[in-house]
Chain A
Amino acid sequence: KAGVTQTPRYLIKTRGQQVTLSCSPISGHRSVSWYQQTPGQGLQFLFEYFSETQRNKGNFPGRFSGRQFSNSRSEMNVSTLELGDSALYLCASSPWSGGIQETQYFGPGTRLLVL
């Protein structure tokens, strides 16, 4: 099975712009979660989607949003970019079937640099 894929791998944006990141889960996985990783804050949960619905949301401002499509692919959007949004954004997929099967498998990440 192919793993989780994320596009693009690298992005450079300027303050005030917006950005959209994409994540394709492992085939058969229906849940997609997003995490932000920074040197200062570590790994922080952004949100989780299942069946095209946001099921869980972390403590991030409304500038961070996401969605999931019927094929389980997910996108996250950050509007009005700030310097502090520079980070590695990780996407993880899981089956949403309960139990240890709910282990999350991660993509390679998208590294966003805001100038």
Chain B
Amino acid sequence: AQTVTQSQPEMSVQEAETVTLSCTYDTSESDYYLFWYKQPPSRQMILVIRQEAYKQQNATENRFSVNFQKAAKSFSLKISDSQLGDAAMYFCAYRTSYAGNNRKLIWGLGTSLAVNP
């Protein structure tokens, strides 16, 4: 069974600085999708960035980028120029790419990010 591990329950960063959140996963599959979601105090789960495992190029979305290391099964999120609005719980999630009925997201326990002014 696949598992997702986020080893940092809490992190903090100064406004305008860069922070990296860690995520590792375990799977025997060769093709899959990885996601970072953000959940601010409103509890709305917001997609931050996504990565297809077969793509070697790391995904980037504005100030957010990932470091995807397939062999190491690592998927870290880098937030550049941190803003106060980035303060939230960040979840790493895995999903199989295979068609069929096993399409659920498997989640890490989250990292709570505080942004200090």
**B46 — which chain A residues lie within 8 A by C-beta?**
106
Indicate whether B95 reaches chain A with its CB closer than 8 angstroms: yes
Q: Is the interface of A mostly helix, strand, loop or mixed?
A: strand
For chains A and B in complex, what number of residue pairs have CB atoms within 8 angstroms? 56
- Nearest chain A CB to B92's CB is how many angstroms away? 11
**A18 — which chain B residues lie within 8 A by C-beta?**
none
Closest chain A residue to B91, Cβ basis? A43
Q: Is the interface of B mostly helix, strand, loop or mixed?
A: loop
| Among A35, A43, A44, A106, contact of B44 (Cβ-Cβ < 8 Å) | A106
**A64 — which chain B residues lie within 8 A by C-beta?**
none
- Nearest chain B CB to A87's CB is how many angstroms away? 11
Which residues does B use to contact A, with CB under 8 Å?
Answer: 33, 35, 37, 42-47, 50, 52, 91, 95, 97, 99, 101-110
Supply 20 further A-B pairs (C-beta < 8 A) apart from A100-B50, A106-B45. A33-B104, A33-B105, A35-B105, A42-B107, A43-B107, A45-B104, A45-B105, A55-B103, A56-B102, A56-B103, A88-B43, A98-B99, A100-B33, A102-B95, A102-B103, A103-B35, A103-B50, A104-B105, A106-B37, A106-B44
